[in-house]
């Protein structure tokens, strides 16, 4: 049984369609009524309302929702119209059209697709659609003329039979181009028997239009491609994008020379917050590069906060070590939760050893560099940290905390099950108790802080984490947008708390994934899915006092799992997709370099990169077999980041051994 995705459909229409300028109420109403999940391949239902094309049978795709809406809106389909739909595919576009037009005629060259679509229409009750198996480039002469013709495949030119089958005043829309990645969406309006007007709607990428008046069944040869160049052609550039990147690229020193590497980033040191990304959670070069940059910012420019995409209680164990504070025994070693390799690796271990050494001669704690976690997953350790603190400072408050947190006790080891229980119960089971505990702890701030300020900060932040985590696990079953936004808001709030605690002159370095530190407002996660992130919140709060630096790679190896909770594997990273920013960087031939994307640096390059392109995101899970769907998203690189660090080929991090290493003291957080 398919899940009810009505709310996801409404959100798709509001954000992806209406939110991007489609105002035709006929289109909006029809797209609210057609269940797109019924038109995608089995197993892809959860992606049905993402703004992306999805694979279907016969090697074809179902177009992304926005493109379907754009094409219907551009042809101004209205009640009473007769419409020809070339390239039935799954039947989704024809279904949307059928809720507007009087009758829809749809042609598909793959018989299996045509028959499957016909069955779907019958099952869903769409009675005004006629389906034919045949060559769509010839049109449907017996049903012509048509008020609108929509062609969902790219040809070298506009098929003449389809022009001829337009009614006077009829509208046609078709992708035209010599290559899949070099098509333009062209609208044609027939003004008379011989007069046609054309309008260019911009770059698109469709499957090829195969047929007598399109491409041949085999790969088009050079002569075939040449005849497509007579019509709509993009303006020529004096220099290609890879050439512009090569001119702007600043070669990076070797990572074996961290001082020289870090010095290249002095230009960003005036900021109060420098956010350093990563395109994966398991790439050695990204960790080593961030370590080199952070060392420079700490040693030379007065940064004292290193805030990372890790849980607060785990990072607190590291912080006590690097700042030579008293050892605090834990029920379990730091960073034992999946994915352990993300922080328990040789690269982080070397950076932590450097922080410990750097802080050793600094007697004033305010001058020391601290290591802090921004994330909210480790509910169990946070509850224990609050109770341990109160046991020492306020035993009566500790007794009350045990009672209040007792509501969450049975969920501590697997807090995601709390969200499922809340969903079934229909109310927030523990919200009042954990919020009250957090509020009371904060209200006693001055008294507790006088006794031990650092310990109070740790306890207070753990209390905030518990409150945020309770809400996070409660809302995660309602949708990805709500849980994502709550998590990143918590990370940003934690960063603000750290800056406030350390004083007006405090400066912070943030380590997190590109998806967290790039400005989400200029990615489809923000534009389409309504998600914000710590990078966007920092830009809005600090303006140019926040520097957002992304990282990327073309190929190599990465430490990742195949599914959540699965064992870590060393996986091969596929070479980047041809339509991605990564491919442009690779084709520049620069090897490893820094691109400064701020205004006034390389304006021609910045302008050419503004249009959205694909960008790769690999987290703790990597599925190369579905990479385009699973790991690519659209973004505007110069608006997303202030700078971009590129390594053409990268290697996986090296996890630390599970057993205790010889000679490592008990107090060392990575000792086990």
Dihedral of CA atoms 319, 321, 327, 333 in degrees, nearest 10, equals 80
Residue keyed to tokens 């990805």: 480
Nearby residues of 7 by Cβ (< 8 Å), 6 or more positions away: 479
Given the DSSP bridges, would you call strands 546-560 and 569-573 parallel, antiparallel or unpaired?
antiparallel
Are the beta carbons of 54 and 61 closer than 8 angstroms? yes
Output Rg (C-alpha) for the chain, integer angstroms. Answer: 28
List the alpha helices (DSSP H) in 302-345.
Answer: 312-322
Neighbouring-strand partners of residue 555: 649
Are the beta carbons of 608 and 269 closer than 8 angstroms? no
Are the beta carbons of 632 and 615 closer than 8 angstroms? yes
Buried b (16+ CB within 10 A) or exposed e, 545-555: ebbbbbbbbbb
Please calculate the CA angle 277-477-376 and round it to the nearest 5 degrees: 40
Q: Rounded to an integer, what distance in angstroms lies between the CA atom of residue 90 and that of residue 307?
A: 47
DSSP state of 215: B
Nearby residues of 621 by Cβ (< 8 Å), 6 or more positions away: 560, 561, 562, 563, 564
Buried b (16+ CB within 10 A) or exposed e, 414-449: ebeebbeebeeeeeebbeebbbebbeebeebeeebe
Residue 274: which of 252, 248, 295, 253 has the closest Cα?
295
Asked whether the bond before 83 is cis by omega within 30 degrees of 0, the reply is no
Residue 395 is encoded by which pair of tokens? 């035993």
Q: Rounded to an integer, what distance in angstroms lies between the CA atom of residue 402 and that of residue 461?
A: 17
Q: Which of 7, 63, 130, 515 is catalytic?
A: 63
CA distances from 323 to 354, 452, 661 (A): 11, 15, 22
Measured from the Cβ of residue 216, the count of other Cβ atoms closer than 10 Å reads: 12
Given the DSSP bridges, would you call strands 103-108 and 82-86 parallel, antiparallel or unpaired?
parallel
Residue 277: which of 550, 491, 552, 535 has the closest Cα?
550
Catalytic residue status for 633: no
For the annotated catalytic residues, the residue numbers are: 63
């Amino acid at each position: 049984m398919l899940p009810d995705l009505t709310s996801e459909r409404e959100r798709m229409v509001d954000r992806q369609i209406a939110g991007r300028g489609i105002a035709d109420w006929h289109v909006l109403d029809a797209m609210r009524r057609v269940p797109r999940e019924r038109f995608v391949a089995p197993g892809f239902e959860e992606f049905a309302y993402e703004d992306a094309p999805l694979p279907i049978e016969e090697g074809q795709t179902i177009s992304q929702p926005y493109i379907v809406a754009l094409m219907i809106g551009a042809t101004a389909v209205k009640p009473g119209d007769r419409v020809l739909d070339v390239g039935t595919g799954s039947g989704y576009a024809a279904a949307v059209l059928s809720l507007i037009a009087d009758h829809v005629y749809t042609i598909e060259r793959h018989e299996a697709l045509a028959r499957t679509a016909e069955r779907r229409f019958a099952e869903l009750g769409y009675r005004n659609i006629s389906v034919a198996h045949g060559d769509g480039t010839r049109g449907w002469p017996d049903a012509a003329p048509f008020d609108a013709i929509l062609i969902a495949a790219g040809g070298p030119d506009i098929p003449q039979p389809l022009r001829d089958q337009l009614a006077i005043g009829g509208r046609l829309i078709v992708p035209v181009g010599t290559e899949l990645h070099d098509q333009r969406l062209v609208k044609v309006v027939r003004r008379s028997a011989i007069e046609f007007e054309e309008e260019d709607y911009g770059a698109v990428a469709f499957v090829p239009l195969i047929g007598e008046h399109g491409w041949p069944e085999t790969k088009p040869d050079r002569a075939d491609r040449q005849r497509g160049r007579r019509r709509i052609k993009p303006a020529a550039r004096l220099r290609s994008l890879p050439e512009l990147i090569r001119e702007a690229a600043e070669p990076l020193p070797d990572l074996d020379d961290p001082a020289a590497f870090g010095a290249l980033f002095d230009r960003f040191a005036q900021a109060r917050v420098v956010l350093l990304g990563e395109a994966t959670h398991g790439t050695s070069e990204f960790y080593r590069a961030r370590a080199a940059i952070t060392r420079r910012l700490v040693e030379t420019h007065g940064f004292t906060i290193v805030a990372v995409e890790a849980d607060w209680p785990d990072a607190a164990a590291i912080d006590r070590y690097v700042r030579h504070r008293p050892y605090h025994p834990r029920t379990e070693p730091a960073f034992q939760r999946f994915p352990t390799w993300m922080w328990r690796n040789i690269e982080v271990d070397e950076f932590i050893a450097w922080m410990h050494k750097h802080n050793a001669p600094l007697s004033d704690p305010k001058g020391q560099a601290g290591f802090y976690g921004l994330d909210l997953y480790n509910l169990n350790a946070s509850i224990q940290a609050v109770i341990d603190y109160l046991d020492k400072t306020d035993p009566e408050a500790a007794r009350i905390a045990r009672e209040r947190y007792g509501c969450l006790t049975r969920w501590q080891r697997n807090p995601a099950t709390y969200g499922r229980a809340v969903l079934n119960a229909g109310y927030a089971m523990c919200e009042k108790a954990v919020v009250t505990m957090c509020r009371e702890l904060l209200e006693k701030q001055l008294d507790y802080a006088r006794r031990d300020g650092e310990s109070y900060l740790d306890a207070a932040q753990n209390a905030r984490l518990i409150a945020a985590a309770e809400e996070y696990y409660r809302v995660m079953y309602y949708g990805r947008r709500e849980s994502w936004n709550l998590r990143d808001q918590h990370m940003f709030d934690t960063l603000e708390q750290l800056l406030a605690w350390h004083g007006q002159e405090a400066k912070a370095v943030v380590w997190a994934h590109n998806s967290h530190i790039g400005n989400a407002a200029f990615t489809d996660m923000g534009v389409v899915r309504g998600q914000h992130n710590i990078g966007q919140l920092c830009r809005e709060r600090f303006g140019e006092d926040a520097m957002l630096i992304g990282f990327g790679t073309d190929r190599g190896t990465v430490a990742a799992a195949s599914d959540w909770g699965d064992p870590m594997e060393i996986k091969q990273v596929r070479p980047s997709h041809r339509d991605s920013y990564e491919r442009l960087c690779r084709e520049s031939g620069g090897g490893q370099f820094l691109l400064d994307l701020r205004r006034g640096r390389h304006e021609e390059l910045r302008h050419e990169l503004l249009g959205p392109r694909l960008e790769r995101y690999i987290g703790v899970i990597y599925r190369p077999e579905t990479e385009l769907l699973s790991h690519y998203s659209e973004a505007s690189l110069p608006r997303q980041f202030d700078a971009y660090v590129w390594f053409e080929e990268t290697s996986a991090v090296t996890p630390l051994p599970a057993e205790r290493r010889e000679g490592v003291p008990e107090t060392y957080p990575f000792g086990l």
